[in-house]
Amino acid sequence: MYKHSKEAQSNVTPATALQYLKEGNSRFVNNLRANRDLLSQVNATRDGQYPFATVLSCMDSRTSVELIFDQGLGDIFSIRIAGNVLNQDIVGSMEFGTQLAGTKIIVVLGHTQCGAIKGACDDVHLGQLTQLLNKIKPAIDSDTSTPPENRNGKNPAFVTKVTENNVRNVIEQITAESPIITELVNNGAIKIVGGMYHLETGIVKFFE
């Protein structure tokens, strides 16, 4: 289990960070969550934080990354927004998490049955939500195999395809919009990984 210190963080590699997340999800799925003393973690992190991962995920109430990866206080920078879409503030937060705070991995995490993805597939228009859903439209356009009559939020297979496309598009956007993160990736200091959380099973499947 990850230890909270600058030395421990400096010794974590991108591959190790991914392994921590995989092991945590395995514990979650098998109901073997680590026995943590959260008050002790409060004390351990009161003078500083040394998380090992930055995770962009959906705001869906069923997808708390600290729970599904079985992590504690100070382990993860968690960025949550409907549809795990990207904007400048999120890119800036990722730059802080990696360049300044030292995390070793960025995970873009989609999930099955995502309401934002369904809304984009159904071309929903609702106040400011409209602009957010428009960010997902390129992921819809990327799928050319689904016939027009099935390209909607009621088609689970189509929704899953769009969700996966959206994760991959966001990963491409991160490096396109952030020279800082791109340099870290190219230097091997961090890695960016996509994944899908399955609401039906609790399992995270990473794109590798």
pLDDT for 126 equals 97
Q: How many separate domains does the chain show?
A: 1
pLDDT for 143 equals 96
Q: Is residue 121 part of a domain?
A: no
pLDDT for 43 equals 73
pLDDT band, very low/low/confident/very high, at 40 (cuts 50, 70, 90): confident
Q: What are phi and psi of 121, to 5 degrees?
A: -65, -30
Distance (Å, rounded) from C-alpha 194 to C-alpha 166?
10
pLDDT band, very low/low/confident/very high, at 3 (cuts 50, 70, 90): low
CATH number at residue 26: 3.40.1050.10
Q: State the Rg of the chain over Cα.
A: 17
Q: Tell me which H or E stretch contains 18.
A: helix 14-29
Domain that holds residue 92: 6-110+167-207
Q: Is residue 129 part of a domain?
A: no
Question: If phi over 0 gives left and psi between -120 and 50 gives alpha, with beta otherwise, what is residue 188?
Answer: left
| Average pLDDT rounded to a whole number, residues 161-183 | 98
Q: Is residue 16 part of a domain?
A: yes
pLDDT band, very low/low/confident/very high, at 201 (cuts 50, 70, 90): very high
| pLDDT above 70 (res 19) | yes
pLDDT tens per residue, range 49-91: 899 999 999 999 999 999 999 998 889 999 999 999 999 999 9
| Average pLDDT rounded to a whole number, residues 158-187 | 98
pLDDT for 80 equals 98
Average pLDDT, whole number, for the chain? 94
Binding-site positions read: 58, 60, 111, 114
Q: Is residue 149 part of a domain?
A: no
Distance (Å, rounded) from C-alpha 200 to C-alpha 68?
13
Q: Is residue 46 part of a domain?
A: yes
Q: Is 10 exposed, middle or buried (0-12, 13-18, 19+ CB in 10 A)?
A: exposed
**The residue to which tokens 């802080």 are assigned:** 96
Distance (Å, rounded) from C-alpha 177 to C-alpha 28?
34
Binding-site positions for Zn(2+) read: 58, 60, 111, 114
Q: Is residue 123 part of a domain?
A: no
